[in-house]
Amino acid sequence: MFSNLEIFLDKFMGNLKEAGVDVSGLSMDHVGYKTNSLKEYEQIMPRMKKTGKLVKENTVRDRKVAFFKLDHPIIYKQYTIPAAELIAPKEGETVRFGWEHAELVIPESFESFMAKYPKLTWDTSVMNSDLFSMVKLKLGDNMQAKFHLMPVLEIIEKEK
């Protein structure tokens, strides 16, 4: 599962660069792996537990989601990625499985960040959500960049 993460991140960073988004000063908070079924989610869960501590599992936006604090953070170029997310599809949803997104923490408001890139089509549907608010940018089929204001592990700790 983690063996093809570098390939995903290379493409992810290339797509961000092509879109003109500068993320060089941001921290990469976590990466997200989407399964193609609840059964696959349940099969992958034990493997994920071997890579880190399960810090939260719940239903977010009609799908099961699990967050792991990795025992050994992922090192990718200048990024140290401390967490990974495992995501089941919504019931009835057909998806391609695999690495689907990476999330980065921005040091400014969503509005200020998006204003730097006015020609891009931002998904702001959960920008004002009480749970994991963020803005999203589609980077191609089955690939998104998500930007939020606080690291996910801090958000989870704050909720406790």
Using 50, 70 and 90 to split pLDDT, how confident is the model at 97? confident
Using 50, 70 and 90 to split pLDDT, how confident is the model at 80? very high
Domain boundaries along the sequence of the chain = 2-16+25-159
Per-residue pLDDT, averaged over 106-115, amounts to 97
Q: Kindly report the average pLDDT of the chain as a whole number.
A: 92
Per-residue pLDDT, averaged over 47-65, amounts to 91
**Nearest in space to 66 (alpha carbons), one of 75, 78, 57, 74:** 57
Per-residue pLDDT, averaged over 151-157, amounts to 90
| Residue 127 DSSP symbol | T
**Residue 62 neighbours by CB under 8 Å, 6+ apart:** 90, 91
Q: What angle do CA 63, 100, 3 make, to 5 degrees?
A: 120
Asked if the model's pLDDT at residue 26 lies above 90, the reply is yes
Please state which CATH class domain 2-16+25-159 belongs to: alpha beta
Tell me the pTM: 0.91
Residue 159's pLDDT is 78
Asked if the model's pLDDT at residue 87 lies above 80, the reply is yes
Residue 149's pLDDT is 95
